[in-house]
Amino acid sequence: MRPSAFGVVLWAAACVALAFLLIPIVAIFSELTLGELRDGLTSDVARDALRVTAETNLAAMALILLFGTPTAYLLASRSFRGRTVLVTLVELPLVLPPAVAGIGLLAAFGRLGLLGGTVESLGIDIAFTKVAVILAVTFVASPFYVRTAIAAFEAVDPDLVAASRTLGAGPARTFARVALPIASGGLGAGAALAFARGLGEFGATIMFAGSLQGVTQTLSLAVYQEFDVDFDTALAIGALLVLGSALVLFAAKVIPSWRRSASTSITVSGPSASR
Amino acid sequence: METLGVDLDHGLRSFRLALALDAGAETVALMGPSGAGKTSVLRAIAGLLRPERGHITLGGDTWLDTARRIDLPPERRRVGLVFQEYALFPHMTVRANVAFGGSERVDELLERFAIASLAGARPSAISGGERQRVALARALARDPGVLLLDEPLSALDAHTRSRVRQELRELLLDLGLPTLIVTHDFEDAAALADRVGVLVDGRLLQIGPPSELVATPADAFVAGFTGANLLRGTARPAPNGLTEVALDAGFTAYSVEPAGGRVALAVYPWEVSVAREAPDDSAVNHVRAPIGSIMTLGNRVRVQIGPVTAEVTTQSSERLGLREGEVVVASFKATGARLLSGA
């Protein structure tokens, strides 16, 4: 079949867009030999940054899931005055410049901040510690999860929730046995998106937590610090982040459809009667 | 057997739902056009909708009493609700669905509803009729005191429908529970229910055995719902002691029932006979018009003659050689012509 002129235009535009997005990524890998990649990733800076990133992001993800899931269920299943305002608030970090998030966190939890005195009297210092990284990542990444989770819970057929209630399950059991499993594909996708965003977190972290190697310096902060010290190390860490982010993003796309097919698979046990 | 008592008053979008109903060990069908508040009644009984004012009891248990601020949550009402689209849990097997409300009688119910062979299947992998049986088994696993069925047959194709209707009738007789069925189909209601209530704009226009609704419909709406021809017109007393109705369709008809002003003349299709020429018999009403359509329903034929639908046997239709477009005469007796308000 002869391709239409319109089809050619579409493909041409898509090729330009894809090339533009791909070239920097290709450049990261082509500028590195395998040896340089290995040396870069085994350097102290990279090892420390990987450890800090893993610790802080796992902690942040735990916080996001623990508090974000009930929040999303509440916002998805109840209608009340001011709900739209609350949803907007929850989504605000999505559009907030990370620098603003950083200065806000500093103004709230810094030593001279709004809650700084309270926190300090408890003997805890937050700013420029690992806790600060966790808070910064949580702040910036949480809307990616909560937004997707609200949509996932809203997509649960209200009749299924009602059916669960008429079958004797209270609200908590209905949440655990019906809403949560049915929304789990969407929740997984949201968690993956939030995790990908958290991995790349930079602006809020550098303002609120600084860039102390082994304490608050995450992988993306290490790239920034190393690029005028040791460009190859910066490139190697960059390559790691590209791979990690791509993997997580791919998972976010695959998880919901995998969940769906798992829940609809035909698993007839026992002899199937001929009827 | 416990009696279900329902008394509701609740504002819906464009009308008030105001209904009082008692049901013993019987099946009551709520019939009416969509949006008449039928499903809201079921949801209120199940505790999924809180009416502004209301009182719901089962035997000695009070489920709802707005005056005394009693409102049990759905999980504390002994109700089995079968949803229109069945609302089976898609992430659970048939067995897990049935066991959701109570696990003691699962095997017995799987056997009883002939779904034991599907126990490990997901709802998406089974047929509509099978889904309905799973939904019924699931609702009964909780040992409910009341059974509520929302359009139990509407999700089924015509072929499955008549078989499932028969199965459902036998099941309901066997269970002997107060059962409420919502439907918009009089045939379903008549087949399944001991009493049928016609609900329009939140009010029960009439409630009684199906035969009573057919014999003495309260108004034109009920008559229309039970399948009668409705011919609108203006009535006035005639010198011969009958009521003369000048039909809007251009004919004149007579009824034994007294009436004046705007009326709907209701006559059932099986009370209308069809002939080539106006017969010299006891029928006084004759409508001469071309045949609009002929539809065969098993051993019956529905013939549309002008504004009137007649139902005759297939044999009669063949003997008369009825063809679309031919002019024939539809006749019915003045005693079969009911005059109803609501025109």
Domain ranges of chain A: 30-261
**What confidence category does residue B104 fall into, taking pLDDT thresholds of 50, 70 and 90?**
confident
pLDDT of residue A266: 38
CB contact under 8 A, B74 and A162: yes
Q: Flag if B81 and A166 touch (Cβ within 8 Å).
A: yes
Which residue does chain A place closest to B98, by CA atoms? A167
Across the range B233-260, mean pLDDT stands at: 92
Give the mean pLDDT of A31-60.
Answer: 93
- Give the tens place of pLDDT for each residue, B273-328: 999 888 888 889 999 999 999 988 878 899 999 899 999 999 998 999 889 999 99
Q: How confident is the model at residue A1 (pLDDT cuts 50, 70, 90)?
A: low
Q: What is the pLDDT of residues A172-214, one digit of tens each?
A: 999 999 999 999 999 999 999 999 999 999 999 999 999 999 9
pLDDT surpassing 80 at residue B336: yes
B48:A165 CB<8 A: yes
Q: Which residue of B has its CA nearest to A180?
A: B91
**Which tokens belong to A212?**
């102390």
Closest-CA distance of chain B to residue A173, Å = 11
Mean pLDDT of all residues in B238-267 = 91
Candidates B117, B124, B142, B146, partner chain A, best to mutate (most A CBs within 10 A): B117
Asked whether the beta carbons of residue A270 and residue B119 sit closer than 8 angstroms, the reply is: yes
The pLDDT assigned to A93 comes to: 93
At A248 the three-state DSSP class reads helix
Lowest mean per-residue pLDDT among B5-9, B34-38, B202-206? B34-38
Task: Tell me what pLDDT residue B227 has.
Answer: 86
Weakest-pLDDT range from A251-265, B107-121, B250-264: A251-265
The pLDDT of residue A218 = 95
Predicted confidence at residue A260, as pLDDT, reads 53
Residue A122 pLDDT level (bands cut at 50, 70, 90)? confident
Nearest CA in chain A to B75: A168
Tokens of B146: 């009341």
Q: Please give the Cα distance from B331 to B314 (Å, whole number).
A: 18
H/E run at residue B141 = none
| Chain A positions in Cβ-Cβ contact with residue B119 (cut-off 8 Å) | 269-270
CATH class of A30-261: mainly alpha
Contacts of residue A118, defined as CB under 8 A and 6 or more positions apart, other chains included, come to none
Work out the average pLDDT over A43-51: 94
**Percent of chain A predicted with pLDDT > 70:** 92
Strands B195-200 and B327-332: unpaired
A64 Cβ neighbours under 8 A, 6+ residues apart = A138, A141, A142, A145, A146, A191, A194
- The phi and psi torsions of B7 (rounded to 5 degrees) equal -145, 110
Query: Which range has the worst mean pLDDT, A97-101, A111-115, B39-43, B173-177?
Result: A111-115
Residue of B nearest to A171 (CA): B75
The domain made up of B228-340 has a fold known as: OB fold (Dihydrolipoamide Acetyltransferase, E2P) (2.40.50)
CA distances from A213 to A51, A234, B274 (A): 10, 14, 98
Q: What is the pLDDT of residue B341?
A: 80
Nearest chain B residue to A274, by CA:
B117
So what's the pLDDT on residue A259?
56
Shortest alpha-carbon distance between residue A17 and chain B (Å)? 40
Q: DSSP string of A33-80?
A: -HHHHHHHHHSHHHHHHHHHHHHHHHHHHHHHHHHHHHHHHHHHH---
**pLDDT score of A83:** 92
Question: What average pLDDT does the structure give for chain A?
Answer: 89
Reported confidence tier of residue A95, pLDDT bands at 50, 70, 90: very high
What is the pLDDT at residue B36? 84
Distance from the Cα of A251 to chain B's closest Cα (Å) equals: 21
Selected for mutation to probe chain A from B56, B97, B100, B148 (highest A CB count within 10 Å) is B100
Domain with CATH 3.40.50.300 in chain B: 4-78+144-220
Are B100 and A177 an interchain contact pair (Cβ–Cβ within 8 Å)?
yes
The CA distance from B98 to the nearest CA of chain A, in Å, is: 10
Q: What is the ipTM of this complex?
A: 0.82
Of B195, B119, B179, B182, nearest in space to B147 by CA: B179
B60 touches chain A (CB under 8 A): no
C-alpha separations of A127 from A81, A93, A135 in Å: 36, 19, 10
Is there a contact between A165 and B102 if contact means CB atoms under 8 Å apart? no
Residue ranges, CATH 2.40.50.100, chain B: 228-340
Contact assignment for B121 to A264 by CB distance below 8 Å: no
Note whether A165 contacts B73, CB cutoff 8 Å: yes
Domain B4-78+144-220 annotated CATH 3.40.1190.20 = no
Helix (H) or strand (E) holding A99: helix A98-109
Q: What is the least distance, in Å, from the CA of B177 to any CA of chain A?
A: 17
pLDDT at position B164: 87
pLDDT tens figures, A261-270 = 444 433 333 3
CB < 8 Å to B138, chain A: 167
**How far is A199 from A248, CA to CA, in rounded Å?**
10
pLDDT exceeds 60 at position A271: no
